[in-house]
Structure 1
Amino acid sequence: MTTDIDFSAKPVAGVDTHTDTHTVATVTATGRHLATETFPTTRAGYTHLTEFLNKHGVGTVGVEGTNSFGAGLTRHLIDRGYTVVEVLRPKRSIRRRDGKSDPVDALAAARQVLSGEGLSTPKDSTGPVESLRALQITRKQLVSTTTTLITTIKSMLVTAPNDIRARYGTMTNHTLVNALVYCRPSPDLSDPRNGVLTSLKILATTYRALRVQCDELEARIAALVSMINPHVSNIVGCGALVSADLLISIGDNPERIHSEAALANLCGVAPLPASSGRTNRHRLNRGGDRRANSALYRIALVRMRYDQRTKAYVARRTAEGLSKKEIIRCLKRAIIREVYRVICTKRSTPQPRDLRRDELKELRIAKQLTQVYVAQHLGCAPARISDIETGKRPLTELASAYEKFLKTA
């Protein structure tokens, strides 16, 4: 998600963002420090910050945390025609050399804009994906609360009076909650039995109310996901909640992700080179957006259990000696291809069964032709012929040429 910027010898600015204040530093096109000033995070503060940038002729601003503390400032600057890029926080080597303070960090951000390293286009937070993010955050918090509530109920049952523990202790969660909601403890709280039952009833009632709200939020999330991208449900194993996580990570402006490799790097599924001298190897990428990485993991698990093509792939890779973790890493990298095509380029991905061309395979076998022979005549690799027949990839143009070749052969 790197961005190419033509600074045209204009001064640039860097912003170190915080909850209450933003510190801005401006530098010339050669890196010479011009000025530094701190502004409050209010509407008036944003206005004064813009006047400060205009005073120094700044056209490009590097903001740290464009999707957190700097979200409001980012929207303000973009609305007023500034080019805004997201910068990374200063490296430890720079902090050891120059120290740590808001002016120092702002100056480092401005010089990072000049260097062009580690820059990215900020996510747009003015579209429907921002609404989706708010709904998803709320639902996850409510689900976390319900988990805490049911754990508290089970813990209280451990030390409850014997008759209460004997009655409710063996119930499943759903049955337990319903039974506690309709229990009728006596108002005499001097008896521990009534105090425990009253507490359990309140916890169960709160749990059930929160579960209803979670279901309502999930329905709204599903509707919003369909509105944002109706094709995302075509990805095998990608439900509404998983789709929401992917859309949130990519943002309202998916065009900022310029390639499939960039998306893989964003999601932390692109192996990183770790070679040195005679050693040639790659290592696991532990960075990236962990929300998106988790979504890809859930898609991979669903496919490993229910998708026949994935089951065959897992069996083949297991026979080759790969572990389950290694296979899942390979699957996540393959899933990224579909995600990029559907979300970033907004093209539909048909179900795998719609892509199979069994009739081409049968016709080829009937004419006693091998995949290698066909591939040589079509000028492609034999693996592409296999992809067409099994439905692994659409390859529409090559499939048409393959079909025409078989009819005339």
Structure 2
Amino acid sequence: MDTHRDFHVAAVLSLNGRTLGIERFPATSSGYGQLVRWALQLGAVRRAGVESSGNYGAALSRYLLSQGIEVFEAPGPGRAARRRRAKSDRGDAEAAARAVLSGRAHAPTKTGSGPAEIARLYIVVRGSAVKAQRQAANQLKAILVTADPALREELSTVSYFPMWNSS
């Protein structure tokens, strides 16, 4: 699958590498269902290659996994290949399918659940909170530079923002 924010392009290949079909589907819950139903009409679907399975293809990857389809991160075509040919969503989807068929796509996608996902989310949220606190403290510090000296002196002892007392 070649994944995008608003749509995904899927290619289905036979075991001998013949292209059975290439279609575009909306990147929505109903679009994922349409994609799987379409693919199953072309034959049994056991494995799928998804480009950007940690980004635009994350929800699609989780949906395919929930349907019992083994999902692999499909490598993009790379710079050299992109220079040799014009970029095409259909071509990228077919290349992703061929990567799975050939075994080049061998890294399973993340399931988006379990302890590793909880730890990842914690790290993201904590980093965001630390950054927001630092920005707020810096803004207050900048405002205090122009404040009345009496107010500045009174607030310099406040310990809520230890960064205020650092230079």
TM range (shorter): 0.7 to 0.9
Q: Counterpart in 1 of 2:165? A: none
**Cα offset for 1:97?**
1.8
1:176 Cα deviation after fit: 5.7
CA-based RMSD of the aligned residues comes to: 2.4
- Indicate yes or no: 2:158 matched with 1:164: no
More helix as a share of residues: 1
**TM-fit CA distance, 1:161:** 2.5
- The equivalent of 1:27 in structure 2 is 13
Aligned mates of 1:114, 1:103 — CA distance in 2:
17
Instruction: Report the secondary structure of 1:147's partner residue.
Output: helix
Distance 2:101 2:83 in 1: 21
- Secondary structure at the counterpart of residue 159 of structure 2: helix
Q: Which runs of 5+ in 1 are unaligned?
A: 1-14, 179-409
TM-score (norm 1): 0.36
Offset, 1:74: 1.5
Q: Name the counterpart of 1:50.
A: 36
- How do 1:210-359 and structure 2 match up within 5 A? none
Q: Would you say the 8 A contact 1:88–1:119 is kept in 2?
A: no
TM-score after normalising by structure 2: 0.82
Match of residue 134 from structure 1: 121
RCO higher in structure (CA 8 A, sep ≥6) = 2
Aligned residues: 162
Deviations 1:98-154 (A, max 9, x none): 222322221221122233225301122232433333333222211110010111111
Cα deviation per residue 1:261-299 (whole Å; 9 max; x = unaligned)? xxxxxxxxxxxxxxxxxxxxxxxxxxxxxxxxxxxxxxx
Cα distance between partner residues in 1 of 2:27 and 2:111: 19
Q: Report if aligned partners of 1:26, 1:35 keep a CA contact under 8 Å in 2.
A: yes
User: Structure 1 CA distance, aligned partners of 2:114 and 2:124?
Assistant: 16
CA–CA separation in structure 2 for the residues paired with 1:65 and 1:26: 18
Structure 1 residues 188-203: aligned runs within 5 Å: none
**CA offset digits 1:296-320 (Å, max 9, x no partner):** xxxxxxxxxxxxxxxxxxxxxxxxx
State the distance in 1 between where 2:3 and 2:132 align.
31
**Aligned structure 1 segments of 4 or more residues deviating by more than 6 angstroms:** none
| Aligned partner of residue 120 in structure 1, secondary structure | coil
**Counterpart for residue 48 of structure 2:** 61
Contact between 1:98 and 1:104, CA under 8 Å: does it hold in 2?
A: no
Residue 62 of structure 1: how far off its partner (Å)? 0.3
1:103-114 equivalent positions in 2, closer than 5 A: 103-114=90-101
Structure 2 residue matching 1:175: 3-state secondary structure: coil
CA contact (8 A) 1:62 1:87 kept: yes
Residue pair 1:17, 1:70 contacting (<8 A) in 2 also? yes
- 1:207-233 deviation line (CA, Å, top 9, x unaligned): xxxxxxxxxxxxxxxxxxxxxxxxxxx
Equivalent of 2:64, from 56, 77, 80? 77
